[in-house]
Amino acid sequence: MKAGSNLEKVLAAGHFAVTAECGPPRGADPEIVRKKAAYVKGNVDACNVTDNQTSVVRMSSVAGCVLLKEMGIEPLLQMVVRDRNRIALQSDLLGASALGVRNMLCLSGDHQKFGDDPQAKNVFDIDSMQLIHLVRTMRDEGVFPSGQKLEGAPKFFIGCAVNPFADPFEIRVPRLKMKMMAGADFVQTQCIYNMDKFKTYLEDAKRQGLHEKVKILAGVTPLKSAGMAKFMKKMVAGMDIPDAVIKRIADEPKEKQAAKGIEMCIEQIQELKEMEGIAGVHVMAIEWEEKLQEIIGGAGLLPRPVVD
């Protein structure tokens, strides 16, 4: 065990893992986190806590992780390089590990122009790949990147994110390989709607044996409506939603589109479960956490395994 987290143990035991995420509030009220967490508890092996997603100021991801931990939910810390230089990144990593957080996801972060403080200054002292390497060095070698010895190495099961659909497509798998070589133990993908293109990506990764070296968790997001699908297709960079997927939900009356979106998500998870090389799913029910149990249970993934 590299960190001994529940997620690491579930994956090591060969179970099909399930993660979800909680977005912290735009304020200091912990009850908002606890309310979301109540929908998550018992349905996942670990829960991501997002880090100022979409460049909008929110409660810190470290604080959110602690609140989840207090409720008996294993947290997965997201950390973006957009907002911190390498000193602050290392400091926050040490603090999170000291508080018992054992999973983390290394990310670049959305550009600040997408948020409500577009005049803010991006940092990007290092990139997400360098952050992966930084965390692995601190964990495995017990030293800071500067070479100074740590007074207690942090313990993290290290994750990264990939988008199999971004352009240019031909560099997607090589980037996954680079992140794996930097030290990633698992990967969570961008939400998948174009299953044919994802299968091409996965087959490419399997030919290089990457699925045997890094655990791939496929991202899924239930669509609430045809309007949501059209918006995401048009406005979210790197999102690939085929017209056939939009048509399938658009053909339903508006009052039935949410149920159809959940049905489609369940079907997708069941298909992903049968794919060689897929170690689990990351269910991003954005501001729809109350549907997690329906989705995960409907896909036959409850109860979650208990691994000592």
In the chain, the domains with their CATH numbers are: 6-296 (3.20.20.220)
What is the tens place of the pLDDT at every residue in 185-240?
Answer: 999 999 999 999 999 999 999 999 999 999 999 999 999 999 999 999 998 878 99
Q: Read off the pLDDT of residues 110-120 as tens digits, 9 standing for 90 and up.
A: 888 888 899 99
- Return the pLDDT at 111: 85
Instruction: Measure the CA–CA gap between 37 and 29, rounded to whole angstroms.
Output: 13
Owner of token pair 């091409």:
200
Q: What is the pLDDT of residue 113?
A: 85
- Tokens 């918006």 — which residue? 231
How sure is the predictor about 13, in pLDDT bands with cuts at 50, 70 and 90? very high
The pLDDT assigned to 61 comes to 98
* Percent of all residues in the chain with a pLDDT value above 70, rounded to a whole number: 100
The predicted-structure confidence for 80-103, as pLDDT tens digits, reads as follows: 999 999 999 999 999 999 999 999
Phi, psi of 295 (to 5 degrees): -70, -50
Q: Do 27 and 60 meet the contact criterion of CB atoms below 8 Å apart?
A: no
Confidence of residue 283 (pLDDT cuts 50, 70, 90): very high
Packed helices 172-182 and 195-207: angle between N→C axes, nearest 10 degrees: 50
